[in-house]
Amino acid sequence: MHVAIIMDGNGRWAESRGLHRICGHKEGAKRVEEIVRYASTVGITNLTLYAFSTENWQRPSLEIQTLFQLIKLYLRKKVHVLKLENVKISFMGRRDQLPKSVVTEMHSSEAATQKCTGLQLNIAVDYGGRDEILRAVNKFMCANIATSSKIDEATLRKYSDLKDQPDPDLIIRTGGDQRLSNFMLWHAAYSELSFVDTLWPDFSVQELSSAMKSFDAQNRRFGTIPQVAE
């Protein structure tokens, strides 16, 4: 099962406690550690986390720097444990605008976990769904410059950031808003959507588990064509 999460509400979590927004991101990073650990144990095969969107560049530079620091710290601190737990790390999004130190950390964690065969963890950094589609089309056009071949669904998928991974079965958004905010626009075509009011730093493994249970129940009701008795 592929679960993708829009981790929203860090800023409000901090502000409601009279703290700076970056404290919310720091607390949010702790939830990332817990959720990744938990995902490995409950049959999630692919977990995608929206850590930094193409729109997040509009935030104050201190907040942007903190987010990159947290991502780097998470990778540096956790990559060995993730490798031991057989977690394979990949990234979605563009890399050409990211600080070099972030890209270096991304490369080394991908390389270190390349052969892992357990949970596939995707972290979306400088990611936007529209940008992903445009990059895929542009890559296709560059590769097919000499021909006039047209792009089809299977080919677009091949050039997308997820390549051979399945689309998310379930997309969870924390923080109360009910929209996708440019997340996995191509891949979300048939995903079940779950919007929860809980702010990301308060999101727990129990809530993930209950979102998965509702998904299972929904799937049992609508997922299969009932067998007609002969």
Tell me if residue 126 is catalytic: no
Task: Give whichever of 155 and 198 is closer to ligand FPP, judged by the CB atom.
Answer: 198
Query: Helices (H), strands (E): how many in the chain?
Result: 7, 6
CB of 10 to ligand FPP, least distance (A): 4
CB of 8 to ligand FPP, least distance (A): 5
Residues 5, 44, 74, 170: which binds ligand FPP (CB under 6 A)? 74
Site for ligand FPP in 181-200 (CB under 6 A): 200
Task: Give whichever of 140 and 200 is closer to ligand FPP, judged by the CB atom.
Answer: 200
The two structure tokens encoding residue 109: 């964690």
Residues 3, 4, 5, 9: which binds ligand FPP (CB under 6 A)? 9
Task: Give whichever of 69 and 219 is closer to ligand FPP, judged by the CB atom.
Answer: 69
The two structure tokens encoding residue 130: 């529209």
Give the span between the Cα atoms of 203 and 125, in whole angstroms.
Answer: 21
The two structure tokens encoding residue 38: 């938990």
Task: Give whichever of 68 and 159 is closer to ligand FPP, judged by the CB atom.
Answer: 68
CB 203 within 8 A of CB 36: no
Residues 3, 11, 35, 126: which binds ligand FPP (CB under 6 A)? 11
Q: Judged by CB under 6 A, does residue 39 bind ligand FPP?
A: no
Q: Which residue is nearest to ligand FPP (CB)?
A: 11
Site for ligand FPP in 106-135 (CB under 6 A): 123
Residues 3, 5, 23, 28: which binds ligand FPP (CB under 6 A)? 28
Catalytic site residue from 46, 56, 86, 126: 56
CB 1 within 8 A of CB 169: yes
Give the span between the Cα atoms of 33 and 36, in whole angstroms.
Answer: 5
CA distances from 170 to 20, 166, 173, 215, 223 (A): 31, 11, 10, 7, 13
Burial tier of 130 (Cβ tally within 10 Å: 0-12, 13-18, 19+): exposed
Sequence-ordered list of residues with C-beta below 8 angstroms from that of 140, at least 6 positions apart, any chain: 151, 155, 156, 159
Task: Give whichever of 32 and 170 is closer to ligand FPP, judged by the CB atom.
Answer: 32
**Contacting positions for ligand FPP (CB under 6 A):** 7-12, 25, 28-29, 32, 49, 51, 56, 67, 70-71, 74, 123, 175, 200
User: Which residue numbers are catalytic?
Assistant: 8, 56
